[in-house]
Amino acid sequence: MSLSDDSRYLKGGPVAQRIIAAVREDAAIAKAEGFPPKLISITVGDTDAVDVYVRNQRAKAQLAGIDFEERRFPATITAGELEAAIHGLNADPRVTGIIIQRPVPAHIPIKTLQAAVHPLKDVEGMHPASIGNIVYNQLDLAPCTAAASVELLKETGLDLKGLEVVIVGHSEIVGKPIAFLLMSEGATVTVCHHMTRSVAAHARRADALFVAVGKPRLIKADMVKPGAAVIDIGINSEVGPDGMSRIVGDVDTESVREVASWITPVPGGVGPITVAILLRNTMVALSRQRARYEATYGTADRLAAE
């Protein structure tokens, strides 16, 4: 049996395809009704991981019928100039959603940029108001990677109520929102980070282990409970023995697959679902904007109102 046929591999492709097919239907209807969805990606400077992500965003947006436009800014741009560009996009009625690719150069405060995106156009769910909604169990517009990771865990069929979950990594964009999403599903959640005394001791207790650190092969077989589900969120670029650059996760997949009952491959796991959820969030944003528009103008037909 080839590795790709192994039922232990929790593959993201089929889940992503399902989500994109639904988005495609919604997008076609919205377009016919005079509200074509449009997603704008903002990139500042150059990063490998961002290039992969943006490339896939463009390809999948095209597949789903969502207009996609990349705005690239040089690493030398000031925070004020970027904020002005974001305010311009907020005011543009043709723009449905804005995503700011991370990381941005050190002189740019990322939090200020995320807060500058209008909450109705915040397709990444990273505005403080959006993040706050997650704490209140309002989950329909969650940060894409966190939502994607939870979606993959659900593919196992495990009952999330009372499940012992350990998350390694507590960034605002991945680890923390995963913790909130899973708490709202009834899981018992432990979050580890670089000050945790023994990541291994916590990880070994987990029925489901989420890893989002950015260190290849951080998680080895002896850190995983037999029968656990392991969700590998890491996307690391590495030069392989053949001298070619390749993408690997944070989990030592070869050894961990002997112990775990489920494991997500990298590539082909969480990544494709992240892109699909970004597109789904764009449609959620569009429907919120339309609801606001109707509340203001009393009609859903923008063209008729103009």
218: which residues sit within 8 A by CB, 6+ positions away? 168, 211, 234, 250, 251, 252
Q: Please, which residue, 27 or 144, has the CB nearer to ligand GUE?
A: 144
Q: Please, which residue, 67 or 172, has the CB nearer to ligand NDP?
A: 172
Q: Does 235 bind ligand NDP (CB under 6 A)?
A: yes
Q: Is 249 annotated as a binding residue?
A: no
CB of 293 to ligand GUE, least distance (A): 27
Judged by CB under 6 A, the chain residues 164 through 183 that form the site for ligand NDP are: 168-171, 173-175
Q: Which two tokens stand for residue 245?
A: 């650059």
Q: Which does 169 bind (CB under 5 to 8 A by kind): ligand NDP, ligand GUE, none?
A: ligand NDP
Q: b/e map of 218-253 (b: 16 or more CB within 10 Å)?
A: bbeeebbbeebbbbbbbbbeeeeeeeeeebbbbbbb
On the 0-12 / 13-18 / 19+ scale of CB atoms within 10 A, 183 is: middle
User: 3-class SS at 173?
Assistant: coil
CB of 69 to ligand GUE, least distance (A): 16
User: 3-class SS at 225?
Assistant: coil
Q: Following CA atoms 8, 48, 100, 14 in sequence, which dihedral angle do they give, to the nearest 10 degrees?
A: -30
Q: Which two tokens stand for residue 226?
A: 């037999």
Q: Which does 50 bind (CB under 5 to 8 A by kind): ligand GUE, ligand NDP, none?
A: ligand GUE
Q: Please, which residue, 199 or 277, has the CB nearer to ligand GUE?
A: 277
Q: Which spans of this chain sit near ligand GUE (rule: CB under 6 A)? A: 49-50, 52-53, 56, 99-102, 124, 144-145, 173, 235, 247, 266-268, 271-272, 274-275
**Selected binder of ligand NDP within 56, 57, 101, 145 (CB under 6 A):** 145
